[in-house]
Chain A
Amino acid sequence: MNNRKIILTGLIPALLLVLVFTYYPFLRGIIMAFQEYKLFNLSNVHFIGIDNFKNAFQDPKFIMALQNSAYWVFCSLILQFLLGLTLALMLKRKFRGRGIYQGLVFYSWALSGFLIGMIWKWMFNSQIGVINDLLLRIGLIHQRIGFLSEQKWAMMSVIIANVWYGVAFFAIMLLAALQSVPSELYEAAEMDGAGGVRRLWNITLPYIKPTIISTLMLRAIWIFNDPSLIYGLTNGGPAGSTHILSSLMLEHIIYGGDYGAASAIGIIMIVILLLYTIFFLSVTKAEKAGEF
């Protein structure tokens, strides 16, 4: 068998499936954004130009979701990163029980955002939630708080749950990078009399910078795209105040059956992602950070 045949046999199943069931529906979704396309009125599908986009920008729910997305990505990302980095630094040196410890703190990786949302919904419950109970017991609050039912708390609450969910991911990636720092670098620094903070700043961080950059970039995109935690926790409520773009899009699809409106939001998301990627790459010049 010649190489050409091997390449074709190896690639065709994967490529064909991805083209037909990922790219084709994706392109069709993009076209839908310019159509009136409602599941409950399929006989009346037609092109309407950019009306779906106009409607989106006139919908206060969309504007809110746009702002929330920025807030959600920024706060989740920064907190997940800082906590993940601290944790990774503390786990870098071997100690007795480290393996077990990692198992106990990294397991959130294996759970679905939806279920984690459900669990936190239960803990945040304003009547019988354990978080209210704990805060009351230690005297931090004197009245139960409607973490998910009051608008001023809801967004903060979903972000807290998301930080809890995502620290493990950062910690795992950064820990792997930390363990690849050659120990000779530290030995040399130690001889020069560099203290812990300086070693961190001058050796560790520069060495793992490519991992930091690519992880930050990928995580931001995933946090931006993933509606599952919000779906399980508040489903966008109260009154749309915790919707992000992806959860709002999902609501249009699952509950509204308005595929045109959903696709318009999807395209706006793609544009935001493109701008973000270009901006991120030009600021960090991260070509060398690896593609994935």
Chain B
Amino acid sequence: MKKNIFRSGKIIYLAIYLLIMIFPLYWIVITSLKPQKEIFSFPLKYWPEHMTLDNYIHIFKISKFHIYIGNSLLVSIVSALIVLVIATLSAYVMARFTFRGHKQIMMAFIATQMLPGFVALAPLYLMMSSMNLINNRMSLILMYTVTLIPFTTIMLRGFFQRIPASLEEAAMIDGCSRWSALLRIIIPVMLPGIASSFIFAFVQNWNELFLAVMFIDNDSLKTLPVAMNSFILKFDVDWGAMSAGAVLSIIPTVLIFAFAQKFIVEGLTQGAEKG
């Protein structure tokens, strides 16, 4: 009896919570599918009377939306790949060797996660402009890579630590050099960790707004968040177009999350626990 009450309480709680989590996503999708007139008419419709893709067509007409998508993909993927290479190396060294300064380096990486990073924003703008990288996607690739190195190193180090060193030692006795042992023996075992690091990096890059706002204002170089930011400033009332833009910006990360959820969650928690 008591158990049943507990059980139904749990089901109700989980159902309400699900509703609250899903509703905002549902609402933005529904808004994007409504004709302009319906968005602003009372009473509000919780299911569109006439479903239409007009808002999506409209947003590609009034802006270079396909170019923003391309820019976002380019910057996010390239930087995630670079960070993976750099952080795999540093994480490997941090996991397998002890040396003078080891602790300090670890602290330096961890501190970047806690300090208010925007203190560096203005100086970075000045640095980028003196390097002629303003309005250049290279600046974003560079800075996204740098921003993610510490976290990715910490996370991958956690994965390396769970792989016994005897694995590569055996390969090295067989005549492999350390690097080829890393590449041929360890990396394949680490693939789940590397995949979740890549996804994490991609999502962070895809969502990043403020560096991009500072470094890019040429319309053909904008990433999606920058474009959405200027939409808000330009057509504050055109919620049809804005919701369509929001849905398009959200789709890739939500899809990735849906498919790789288990992966990511494991990666994040294990990497974090091992610290």
User: Looking at chain B, what size class is its interface with the partner chain?
Assistant: 35 or more
Complex alpha-carbon distance, A291 and B114, angstroms: 12
Over the window 12-48 of chain A, the binary record of Cβ atoms lying under 8 Å from chain B Cβ atoms (1 yes, 0 no) is: 0111011001111110111010000101000000000
Over the window 145-186 of chain B, the binary record of Cβ atoms lying under 8 Å from chain A Cβ atoms (1 yes, 0 no) is: 111011001100000000000000000000001110000000
Complex alpha-carbon distance, A11 and B94, angstroms: 8
- Whole-angstrom distance from the CB of B35 to the nearest CB of chain A? 14
Complex alpha-carbon distance, A262 and B266, angstroms: 38
Task: Tell me if A86 is interfacial: C-beta within 8 Å of chain B.
Answer: yes
The verdict on A110 contacting B272 (CB below 8 Å), with A18-B150, A21-B142, A122-B239 known, is: no
B90/A266 in contact, CB under 8 A: no
Residues of B within 8 Å of A17, CB to CB, are: 86, 145-146, 149
Binds B, one of A52-60, A98-106, A185-193: A98-106
Residues of B within 8 Å of A106, CB to CB, are: 257, 261, 265
Task: Tell me if A283 is interfacial: C-beta within 8 Å of chain B.
Answer: no
A101/B18 in contact, CB under 8 A: yes
Residues of B within 8 Å of A75, CB to CB, are: none
Residues of A within 8 Å of B203, CB to CB, are: 110
- Whole-angstrom distance from the CB of B273 to the nearest CB of chain A? 7
B146/A114 in contact, CB under 8 A: no
Task: Tell me if A79 is interfacial: C-beta within 8 Å of chain B.
Answer: no
Complex alpha-carbon distance, A177 and B83, angstroms: 28
Residues of A within 8 Å of B121, CB to CB, are: 25, 29, 250, 253, 262
Task: Tell me if B106 is interfacial: C-beta within 8 Å of chain A.
Answer: yes
Most buried by B among A17, A37, A225: A17
Task: Tell me if B119 is interfacial: C-beta within 8 Å of chain A.
Answer: yes
Complex alpha-carbon distance, A292 and B107, angstroms: 10
Select one of B87, B118, B146, B149 contacting A250, CB under 8 A: B118
Task: Tell me if B74 is interfacial: C-beta within 8 Å of chain A.
Answer: no
Task: Tell me if B97 is interfacial: C-beta within 8 Å of chain A.
Answer: yes
B273/A290 in contact, CB under 8 A: yes
Complex alpha-carbon distance, A86 and B9, angstroms: 12
B119/A115 in contact, CB under 8 A: no
Select one of B25, B116, B275 contacting A269, CB under 8 A: B116
Select one of B20, B124, B232 contacting A118, CB under 8 A: B232
Over the window 225-246 of chain A, the binary record of Cβ atoms lying under 8 Å from chain B Cβ atoms (1 yes, 0 no) is: 1011001100000000000001
**CB-nearest residue of chain A to B153:** A14
The verdict on A14 contacting B89 (CB below 8 Å), with A103-B257, A107-B257 known, is: yes
The verdict on A118 contacting B228 (CB below 8 Å), with A103-B257, A176-B265 known, is: yes
The verdict on A119 contacting B246 (CB below 8 Å), with A11-B90, A173-B272 known, is: yes
B90/A10 in contact, CB under 8 A: yes
**CB-nearest residue of chain B to A254:** B213
Residues of B within 8 Å of A122, CB to CB, are: 27-28, 31, 239, 242-243
Residues of A within 8 Å of B154, CB to CB, are: 292
Task: Tell me if A111 is interfacial: C-beta within 8 Å of chain B.
Answer: yes
User: Looking at chain A, what size class is its interface with the partner chain?
Assistant: 35 or more
A14/B87 in contact, CB under 8 A: yes
A10/B149 in contact, CB under 8 A: no
Complex alpha-carbon distance, A236 and B143, angstroms: 26
- Whole-angstrom distance from the CB of B179 to the nearest CB of chain A? 8
- Whole-angstrom distance from the CB of B13 to the nearest CB of chain A? 6
Over the window 116-144 of chain A, the binary record of Cβ atoms lying under 8 Å from chain B Cβ atoms (1 yes, 0 no) is: 10111011000010100100000000000
Residues of A within 8 Å of B256, CB to CB, are: 110
- Whole-angstrom distance from the CB of A104 to the nearest CB of chain B? 6
Residues of B within 8 Å of A29, CB to CB, are: 119-123
Residues of B within 8 Å of A39, CB to CB, are: 122
Complex alpha-carbon distance, A109 and B272, angstroms: 16
Residues of A within 8 Å of B242, CB to CB, are: 118, 122
Task: Tell me if A3 is interfacial: C-beta within 8 Å of chain B.
Answer: yes
Chain B interface residues toward A at CB < 8 A: 6, 10, 13-14, 17-18, 20-22, 24-25, 27-28, 31, 39-40, 42-44, 86-87, 89-90, 92-94, 97, 99, 105-106, 108-110, 112-124, 126-127, 142-143, 145-147, 149-150, 153-154, 177-179, 203, 206-210, 213-214, 225, 228-229, 232, 239, 242-243, 246, 249-250, 253-254, 256-258, 261-262, 264-266, 268-270, 272-273, 275
A-B contact pairs, 20 of them (CB 8 A): A1-B178, A9-B89, A14-B149, A18-B108, A28-B126, A29-B119, A32-B123, A106-B257, A107-B21, A107-B25, A119-B27, A119-B246, A122-B27, A123-B24, A172-B268, A232-B232, A249-B119, A273-B114, A290-B275, A292-B272
Chain A interface residues toward B at CB < 8 A: 1, 3, 6-7, 9-11, 13-15, 17-18, 21-26, 28-30, 32, 37, 39, 83, 86-87, 90, 99, 101-112, 114-116, 118-120, 122-123, 128, 130, 133, 164, 172-173, 176, 196, 211, 218, 221, 224-225, 227-228, 231-232, 246, 249-250, 253-254, 259, 262-263, 266-267, 269-270, 273, 277, 290-292
